[in-house]
């Protein structure tokens, strides 16, 4: 249990549905977390045109960690590639973060041009628990 942890950064070589499930489980042990960063920026997601770390069938957990409900203020998803699972994870945070002030999603500009991938702009229309939450989308060339 990390009772006083308020900032956490998780880095993955490849982020798959198991990693996001474990991230949510870890959040249960960080009741006062205010800033969450999930970073894969330094690691390539694509190899020979295929998605590594497929997140397509990640499903939102039934329970929501206390930190998301009561303390999380900022969430950063770096190197968002647009898989269905990444989209569901971002939506899970937006829909449950009562005190979320901002979610920043960084992606590579040409990643979302394949038809099956989710454009992060679609998150703009998702219901947010926090009326004050701002969604920032950053695209890198």
Tens digit of each residue's pLDDT (9 = 90 or more) over 28-80: 999 999 999 998 754 444 433 344 444 555 678 889 999 999 999 999 999 88
In order of 26, 82, 83, the CA distances from 66 in angstroms are 11, 27, 26
Report the DSSP pairing between strands 50-51 and 46-47: antiparallel
pLDDT tens profile 68-92? 999 999 999 998 888 888 888 999 9
């Amino acid at each position: 249990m990390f009772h006083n942890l308020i900032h956490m950064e998780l880095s993955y070589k490849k982020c798959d549905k198991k990693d996001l499930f474990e991230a949510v489980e870890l959040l249960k042990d960080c009741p006062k977390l205010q800033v969450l960063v999930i970073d894969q920026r330094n690691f390539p997601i694509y190899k020979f045109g295929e998605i590594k770390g497929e997140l397509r069938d990640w499903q939102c957990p039934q329970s929501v960690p206390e930190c998301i409900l009561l303390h999380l203020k900022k969430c950063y998803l770096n190197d968002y590639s647009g898989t269905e699972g990444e989209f569901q994870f971002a939506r899970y945070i937006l829909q449950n973060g009562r005190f979320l002030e901002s979610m920043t999603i960084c992606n590579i500009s040409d990643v979302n041009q394949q038809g099956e991938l989710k454009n992060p702009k679609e998150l703009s229309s998702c219901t947010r628990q926090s009326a004050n939450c701002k969604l920032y989308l950053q695209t890198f060339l």
